[in-house]
Amino acid sequence: MKLQQFNSLNDLQNSYNTRVSQILDERKMGKKLVGTFCLFVPDEIIFAAGADRIILCGGKDDTIFIAEQYLPRNICPLVKSSFGSIVNNGRSGIKSCSHFGMVDMIVAENTCDSKKKMYELLRDYVSTYVIDLPQRPNSPEALKYFLVELYKLKDAMEQLTGNNVTVEQLKKEIESSNETRKLLHRLYNLRKTDPPPISGVDMLKVMQKQYFLSTEEFKKSLRKLLYEAKQVRANLTHKPRIMISGCPMSGGNTKVPEIIESKGGIIVAEESCTGTRSFWDPVDEGKDPMLALAERYIKIPCSCMSPNDRRIDNILELTREFEVEGVVYYTLQFCHGYNIEKYRIQQALKKAEIPMLAIETDYSNSDAEQIGLRVDAFLEMLS
Ligand code: BJ8
């Protein structure tokens, strides 16, 4: 299935300049822009304070060499690419995306070691606020602690914007984000058919825009895409149904899904932060909004959490729901959390009789051929 089949996808692909102009206009009107790197930062609080937000996770190779002047080489490419883009702004011949230089504040989070140490360096370039994320999600103390952290974030956002975050505004933003989550569920439901109407590469490109566009623009695109995807008449060719599980694939990084689909597989779901983890659970609209946010966000099964059995349960549930025939376990080089979790996940999948292929890679293309050979063999085994 090619990107050009959906006009809405073309619009999404071409949305960069429009979004940058929108931010420039907002800034002229005094609106603040917050940069984020992670799903644990609740957008709802940022929006309720009247600020806009944009994701700063880098998925491109070209700023990594800049980051390596400051950071060790043996940390994950996502951290290096992001840091390189921010530090680079206006300093070298490499052209970073301009939105990296537009944020008034970064709201970061203590997750993996690479990220949290990188944030310490970022402070020299842009105001950086870090949420202290408790990492034992099942303990009641952790929830209480996280709730206090979210109240502190609310205070920081009020200070940044000069606006009060009201309960009404929070509820409105929660409803709006839940609406996005519902639209994404509807889109993912279409992928349960055989074959699905949308390729995994296309779906990833949609997901990479989730935290880049404003929520209204993103929802508009999702509605259009849903309409178009429902019109697709599926041909009857079955392809091996693959789920990707692991590290996020930030904007610019589509290497592995492209290889899988060029070799004849079809990706039907992504258990990742550029997939189901970002929208699967809604925020409870019947509760106090701050508590409901804390409860929802602390449950995100990132590998920084311990224990993280919730992630294994989710993976197994997704394999059943999407009738997955094989899992490609994707880790970025030097991402220890996801790399170590691979063992238990492989054991769980083995028990469920679902084959798994582990791929560890970076943002370069130097290993593309070798990955292609391994994917070929994996798909052949599945068919
Ligand atoms: S909630 S996955 S977005 S932290 S790949 S930087 S984990 S060493 S991106 Fe993440 Fe939030 Fe977790 Fe999601 Fe570290 Fe691994 Fe790099 Fe990672």
User: What digits encode the pLDDT tens for the residues 255-278?
Assistant: 999 999 999 999 999 999 999 999
Amino acid residing at 53: R
Q: Is the CB of 246 under 6 A from ligand 1?
A: no
Q: Whose Cα sits closest to atom 14 in ligand 1?
A: 112
| Residue 358, helix vs strand vs coil | strand
Calculate the average pLDDT of the chain.
94
CB–CB of 243/323 below 8 Å?
no
Residues 182, 180: Cα–Cα separation, whole Å: 5
Is residue 144 pLDDT above 80, yes or no? Answer: yes
Is residue 151 pLDDT above 50, yes or no? Answer: yes
pLDDT the model gives residue 294: 98
Is residue 90 pLDDT above 70, yes or no? Answer: no
Is residue 33 pLDDT above 90, yes or no? Answer: yes
Which residues, 6 or more positions from 258, have their beta carbon under 8 angstroms from its beta carbon?
201
pLDDT the model gives residue 2: 47
Rounded distance from Cα 24 to ligand 1 centre (Å): 29
Per-residue pLDDT band for 91 (boundaries 50, 70, 90) equals low
Residues 267, 209: Cα–Cα separation, whole Å: 18
Rounded distance from Cα 124 to ligand 1 centre (Å): 22
Q: Is the CB of 133 under 6 A from ligand 1?
A: no
pLDDT the model gives residue 93: 57
Residues 222, 225: Cα–Cα separation, whole Å: 5
Q: Is the CB of 114 under 6 A from ligand 1?
A: yes
Q: Which ligand 1 atom minimizes the distance to the CA of 112? A: 14
Per-residue pLDDT band for 140 (boundaries 50, 70, 90) equals very high
Rounded distance from Cα 194 to ligand 1 centre (Å): 31
Rounded to 10 deg, the angle between the 368-382 and 255-262 helix axes is 50
Q: Which ligand 1 atom minimizes the distance to the CA of 302? A: 12
Q: Is the CB of 39 under 6 A from ligand 1?
A: yes
| Residue 175, helix vs strand vs coil | helix
Rounded to 10 deg, the angle between the 289-298 and 167-190 helix axes is 40
Per-residue pLDDT band for 13 (boundaries 50, 70, 90) equals confident
Per-residue pLDDT band for 88 (boundaries 50, 70, 90) equals confident
Q: Which of 43, 271, 273 to mutate to test the pocket of ligand 1 (most atoms within 8 A of CB)?
A: 273
User: Dihedrals φ, ψ of 304, to 5°?
Assistant: -75, -10
* Location of structure tokens 């996280």: 146
Per-residue pLDDT band for 252 (boundaries 50, 70, 90) equals very high
- Tokens found for residue 238: 């079955």
> Pick from 339, 298, 323, 361: which is nearest to 147 by CA?
298
pLDDT the model gives residue 380: 98
Is residue 4 pLDDT above 50, yes or no? Answer: no
Q: Is the CB of 41 under 6 A from ligand 1?
A: no
Which residues, 6 or more positions from 277, have their beta carbon under 8 angstroms from its beta carbon?
39, 271, 300, 301, 302
Q: Whose Cα sits closest to atom 15 in ligand 1?
A: 335
Per-residue pLDDT band for 115 (boundaries 50, 70, 90) equals very high
Q: Which ligand 1 atom minimizes the distance to the CA of 78? A: 16
Q: Which ligand 1 atom minimizes the distance to the CA of 300? A: 1
Is residue 111 pLDDT above 90, yes or no? Answer: yes
Exposed, middle or buried, 13 (CB in 10 Å: 0-12/13-18/19+)? middle
Q: Is the CB of 51 under 6 A from ligand 1?
A: no
Residues 337, 281: Cα–Cα separation, whole Å: 22
CB–CB of 274/264 below 8 Å?
no
- Calculate what percentage of the chain has a pLDDT beyond 70: 96
Q: Is the CB of 87 under 6 A from ligand 1?
A: no
Q: Is the CB of 302 under 6 A from ligand 1?
A: yes
Residues 303, 134: Cα–Cα separation, whole Å: 13
Query: What average pLDDT score do residues 182-187 get?
Result: 98
Neighbours of 182 (CB within 10 A): 14
pLDDT the model gives residue 95: 58
pLDDT the model gives residue 11: 87
Burial code of 43-79, b = ≥16 C-beta within 10 A, e = fewer?
Answer: bbbbbbbbbbbbbbbbbbbbbbebbeeebeeebbbbb
Q: Which ligand 1 atom minimizes the distance to the CA of 273? A: 13
Least confident piece of the model among 76-80, 93-97, 181-185, 361-365: 93-97
Residues 100, 55: Cα–Cα separation, whole Å: 9
pLDDT tens digits for range 207-227: 999 999 999 999 999 999 999
Rounded distance from Cα 163 to ligand 1 centre (Å): 31
Task: Answer yes or no: pTM beyond 0.85.
Answer: yes
Query: What average pLDDT score do residues 311-327 get?
Result: 98
More confident residue, 8 or 376: 376
Amino acid residing at 339: N
Rounded distance from Cα 112 to ligand 1 centre (Å): 7
Q: Is the CB of 78 under 6 A from ligand 1?
A: yes
Least confident piece of the model among 10-19, 91-100, 158-167, 281-290: 91-100
Residues 57, 154: Cα–Cα separation, whole Å: 23
Q: Whose Cα sits closest to atom 2 in ligand 1?
A: 302
